Chain A
């Protein structure tokens, strides 16, 4: 089976006057299967956001390439939905208009837009706020709206850049469960960036651990816990073993070769 997303020796450097000043990402190779939920965790400067932006088509790699369904990524596209940490809702549009934004571009008719938007608004539990402006929503609600907006255009892939990073711990746990519920209903390939080790283990079937200076893929930890994930699992000894393994990899990586 061909992977859904394939990083092929992806390298990103920032050059000053022809000299490599900073290596954000060094020769990354990674295959992500169709329908898989992987999380990417690592310290700041490990290139995890850079990797995601290259997959999203928002940043061009210095060398190497990212393939999606065997096609080289050259720019953004609606088959790859992106969810940003800062929500990036359009503040002048209501929740429903935000969710309909991509559908309008895709050329859906008015009734159909409304039907699809309302379906995903209901799925993230914002039906009562469909006509509200973002300024009236809490951080968690804003991010749920952004998730509905990304889902609405029916992407095959969801790229999430620390989506719950700005939320309080309780809201974060609630949104993790909601996201998994949604993912089990509307299966997509998910690449989820985080700096939270617990979150990384709880959500993923595989945790990709990255290291900094230079930014690189350091280790892949398989999470052999079945879905749906539950609170009991979160408190289990298997979970804490996995968590410790990821933790050690993140905070005490072996020096770069």
Chain B
């Protein structure tokens, strides 16, 4: 089936001489996914590993979608991620600029950043729960930390990597420090900042799910943790797939924003 589908589609896309165009790649992507799901169906239909079939998982997803549970879980997780992530980025960018621009600021902040970067954000959870209670605050704080640490380093790297000649070029055109910062340093570090944002969002997402596994009353992680108690594998699969799809969508959105904002870059 899958093979025939791909043949039909590439027949439509006549005019592309070799199957390396974006459309052909998309077709191959789809075929690969369909193949993976088919293998999953095949393996589970023989009852080999005791996993739910794709159909059972899909049925469970439909039930959860109809009762609204899937949406409320996803929204709870997304809400935490966006709050923590937005706070992290908002504070990381000015701090990163400060570190890149002023050597003294760098000397003060860098030891803390480098130290906390080596601690997985999840390891902060016990401390956060003890000191901040069990409501939303500790979870958002941990997500904030995850996104802040990855973005602050990226921003700082961006600032110190700005080509000296470009700064000199601005200076000889009459730019003062403030103008150089606003018109040269900020745009020139943007590609680095976007890398940090992307990594930050990824680590925020993985952190939120893990945080919900430990302590939460809602969210995709919490749902999985509940399902685990009842040996409800289908629900665990629904949550896992939702986490994957949402993470992928968020990553693609950041990539799309990045490609618009840094379209001026000379790519090799």
The answer for the CA separation of A81 and B172 in the assembled complex, in Å, is 6
A64 at the B interface (CB under 8 A): no
A78 at the B interface (CB under 8 A): yes
The answer for the CA separation of A86 and B168 in the assembled complex, in Å, is 12
Q: Which of B165, B166, B175, B263 contacts A105 (CB 8 A)?
A: B175
- Nearest Cβ in chain A — how far from B86, in angstroms? 25
Interface residues of A in 6-42 (CB under 8 A from B): none
- State whether B266 touches A84 (Cβ < 8 A): no
B135 at the A interface (CB under 8 A): no
Q: Which of A58, A86, A102 contacts B173 (CB 8 A)?
A: A102
Interface residues of B in 159-195 (CB under 8 A from A): 163, 165-166, 168-175, 179, 183-184, 187-188, 190
- State whether B165 touches A78 (Cβ < 8 A): no
Interface size counted on chain A using CB atoms at 8 A: 28
Closest to A79 in B: B174
A82 at the B interface (CB under 8 A): yes
Contacts of B184 in A (CB 8 A): 90
- Nearest Cβ in chain B — how far from A107, in angstroms? 10
Contacts of B183 in A (CB 8 A): 90, 101
Interface size counted on chain B using CB atoms at 8 A: 22
Known: A86-B165, A105-B179. A56 touches B266 (CB 8 A): no
User: Can you list 5 contacts pairing A with B, beta carbon distance less than 8 Å?
Assistant: A58-B168, A90-B166, A90-B184, A91-B265, A134-B264
For the complex with contacts A78-B172, A92-B187, 17 further pairs of A-B residues with Cβ separation under 8 Å are A58-B171, A58-B172, A76-B174, A77-B172, A77-B174, A78-B174, A81-B173, A84-B168, A88-B166, A90-B170, A91-B265, A101-B170, A101-B183, A106-B174, A133-B263, A134-B266, A153-B173
Interface residues of A, Cβ cutoff 8 Å to B: 56-58, 76-78, 80-82, 84, 86, 88-93, 101-102, 105-106, 133-135, 146, 149-150, 153
Interface residues of B, Cβ cutoff 8 Å to A: 163, 165-166, 168-175, 179, 183-184, 187-188, 190, 262-266
